[in-house]
Every structure is written in C-alpha cells, then in structure tokens.
Structure 1
Amino acid sequence: MKNYNIFKLCEELQSILDKEITAGNVMTELPRCTDWPLEGSIFVSLTNRLTAGKKVLTDDVYYSVNNDIHYGWIDECVCKIHHNLLVAGNLIISKYE
C-alpha cells in the first residue's frame, strides 16, 4: 500500500492550492500518485471551483474548463513541467443545480 502522505504537488500547482485553501476551498482528494496523465503524476481535487487560485496561474500551468461529465470536475490545472493535476468543482452536481 502506498503512503499517501509522501506525495507533494509541484510548486507550480501548490501555489494555486495554497490560495484556494486560504480562501476556504477544501480538498476532496489529498495529493496522491495516480500515474495519470503521465507516470508519476500527482492528483489533487478541490470541492469548489477555483477562485483565488486563478490569480496565481503562471505560463507553466495549463488551465481549462472541463465540460465532460466523464471526469466529473470543472476546473483543471495541469503543470506543463511536472504533469501534475489539480482539479476543482463538481461538474455532476453543477449540471443538476
């Protein structure tokens, strides 16, 4: 079994995560190695859509809005350097509110 406490986001996404947590957003899923989108990728999920975190986006982070219910999240941040993934919001709940 993997020790999930050892997985840390890259600095590029950690700054976004820190802003969101400070603003009151909550992690739905703690950092874990999912090997997706690439082997070694770290994944983190936030309950609510990004707000404060959008203000610290850099050129090293690809941001997009997801509308594919297959994935379930709305906001997606992928580090172009480390290929880690930070997602936020719940598309399934949002579609039915």
Structure 2
Amino acid sequence: MDDLDLQIFRDSLAKPQPPAGLSHALQALWWDGKGDWDKAHERAQEHEDSAGMRVHAYLHRKEGDQSNAEYWYRRCGTAPSTLTVDKEWEELARALLEQV
C-alpha cells in the first residue's frame, strides 16, 4: 500500500477487485473509475467521514444531481468543485492516496 500512487491506482482498474487495504472512499473512487457508479455510491456511503462525504458529493455531481452534490459538499465543509469530473476524480484520488 505504501507504494500506491495515482498511476498504480489507475492501472489497478484493469483488475476485477480494488487493491487490498483501500479506505471506503478510495474503494468508491476505484469502482467509479471502473464505471460502476452504484457500487461506488455504496462504498462512499459506508462511512460518513469527511473523505466519504467528499467522494459522495463528487458522485452526485457526476450523475448530474447538483442539489444532492451541494448537500454533500456542505456536509464535508468543501466548496463545490469547479473542475471537470475527470479532474475532480484525479484530485480526490491523489489527495486520498497521500493519506494512505
């Protein structure tokens, strides 16, 4: 886990399961990266910590539910992102990987 960076995280998307030991928030981003929004949403909801709420906000923004996204941005104390959703995913992944 210590050697997990953004490129290795992206490369792991080719596998059937996320790398062992990821937080729920990183698992959510991983499933989203594979195109499974529902599984990503499940993982984001599993822990209502700031990281989970932040990924939850991103997921609702990505699905086009801006009011729900804004609710989750407020809950985690973050301003709504103005990045593209792809850039927001990358920013979130980098930040969460730094915490591993």
Q: What TM-score does the superposition give when structure 1 sets the normalisation length? A: 0.29
- Identify, as 1 or 2, the structure richer in strand: 1
